[in-house]
Amino acid sequence: VKEQNIAAIVIIHDLNLALRFSDKFLLLKDNTIFAYGGMEVMTEENIQAVYGIPVAVEKCRNIPIVIPL
């Protein structure tokens, strides 16, 4: 996609897949946009607010992963 200078919109509910393969994120809560942007929006606080569960965001081999607590 980057080589052809086009965009692809993909809906991924698995946050770890999204973190690995996406460069922009749109978090929705109660049918409204809660957060939009790059890695800076994928914080523990934002994920907890949207999903309602405590999580940790860590890195493994420099790839961010979400761990439910």
The string of pLDDT tens digits covering residues 8-30 is 889 999 999 999 999 999 999 99
pLDDT band at 1 (very low <50, low <70, confident <90, very high): low
Q: How far is residue 36 from each of residues 4, 42, 61, measured CA to CA in Å?
A: 24, 9, 25
Asked if 18 and 24 touch (Cβ cutoff 8 Å), the reply is no
Kindly report the pTM of this predicted structure: 0.84
How crowded is residue 31: how many other Cβ atoms within 10 Å of its Cβ?
Answer: 5
In the predicted structure, residue 39 carries a pLDDT above the cut 70: yes
In this prediction, residue 2 carries a pLDDT of 67
pLDDT band at 6 (very low <50, low <70, confident <90, very high): confident
